[in-house]
């Protein structure tokens, strides 16, 4: 930010992603004392950003807006290539290289929808952090020679999306039955379970962040709802 405006500004993103992951719909906010019109910031920033990062739009937002804590939901996509090598896509997808049982993956995905404790789908966390999250949609779709896993939820535990994709891959290749989703979500003794595979970050893309018509800071929500403020 200093290179663009001469200021030291904290840039706050809507969602944190692992190193090597991608974003098509990341949202950020910052405060600036410069007199640059809000709609010109995209142009100013794009002059100094690396060629593989671009600001699509800039606008002024209400003072209460917070890109992370006002988000209603986030949409992630994980891409699994089932065909042969493709150097033009493998930077943005994980290549498995063999057909998958998409029907089995869909049955497993259906059990992930709703509010659950996703500890077994997170990084191996130390301590007793809150790992309850709500997923609105988990879809598995074949698109030519790849399988796309689209997940929409309030927020994600660190590593959760990559482990969900790994779990569905294990189901698709017959390594786990679809019913294992319920076991991983409900077991009180997760330490004794074999947690799902974590797929590489390169196949993961943040597709969109939504704020709804009326802004609401989840930090001001009821205590039982505040688990949604922690994101991937």
Torsion sign over Cα 133, 139, 143, 147: positive
Dump the DSSP string for 106-153. HHHHHTT-EEEE-GGGS---SS----EEEEEEEEEEEETTEEEEEEEE
Cβ atoms of 59 and 19 closer than 8 Å: no
Residue 137: how many other CB atoms lie within 10 Å: 13
Distance of CA 115 to the CA centre of its chain: 16
Q: Catalytic one among 8, 18, 86, 217?
A: 18
Tell me if residue 232 is catalytic.
no
Which residues, other chains included, contact 116 with Cβ-Cβ below 8 Å and sequence gap of 6+?
132, 133, 135, 185, 186
- The runs of H, that is alpha helices, within the chain are 2-5, 41-46, 102-110, 160-172, 180-186
Residue whose C-alpha is closest to residue 29's, from 21, 20, 38, 37: 38
Q: Please tell me the number of Cα atoms within 13 Å of 217 on its side-chain side.
A: 7
Angle subtended at Cα 197 by Cα 14 and Cα 163, rounded to the nearest 5 degrees:
20
DSSP state of 70: T
Tell me which residues are annotated as active site.
18
């Amino acid at each position: 930010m200093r290179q663009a405006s001469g200021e030291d500004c904290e840039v706050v993103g809507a969602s944190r992603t692992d190193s090597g992951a991608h974003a098509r719909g990341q949202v950020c906010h910052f405060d600036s004392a410069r007199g640059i019109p809000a709609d010109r910031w995209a142009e100013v920033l794009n002059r100094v950003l690396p060629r593989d990062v671009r600001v699509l739009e800039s606008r002024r937002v209400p003072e209460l807006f917070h890109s992370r804590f006002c988000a209603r939901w986030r949409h992630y996509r994980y891409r699994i290539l089932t065909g042969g090598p493709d150097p033009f896509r493998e930077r943005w997808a994980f290549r498995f290289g063999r057909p998958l049982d998409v029907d089995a993956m869909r049955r497993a995905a259906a059990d992930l929808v709703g509010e659950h404790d996703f500890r077994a789908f997170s990084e191996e966390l130390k301590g007793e952090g809150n790992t309850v999250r709500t997923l609105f949609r988990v879809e598995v779709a074949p698109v030519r020679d790849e399988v796309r896993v689209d997940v929409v939820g309030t927020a994600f535990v660190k590593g959760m999306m990559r482990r969900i994709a790994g779990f569905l891959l294990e189901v698709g290749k017959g390594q786990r039955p679809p019913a294992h989703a319920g076991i991983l979500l409900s077991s009180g003794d997760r330490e004794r379970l074999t947690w799902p595979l974590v797929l590489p970050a390169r196949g993961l893309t943040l597709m969109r962040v939504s704020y709804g018509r009326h802004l609401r800071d989840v930090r001001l929500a009821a205590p039982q709802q505040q688990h949604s403020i922690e994101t991937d």
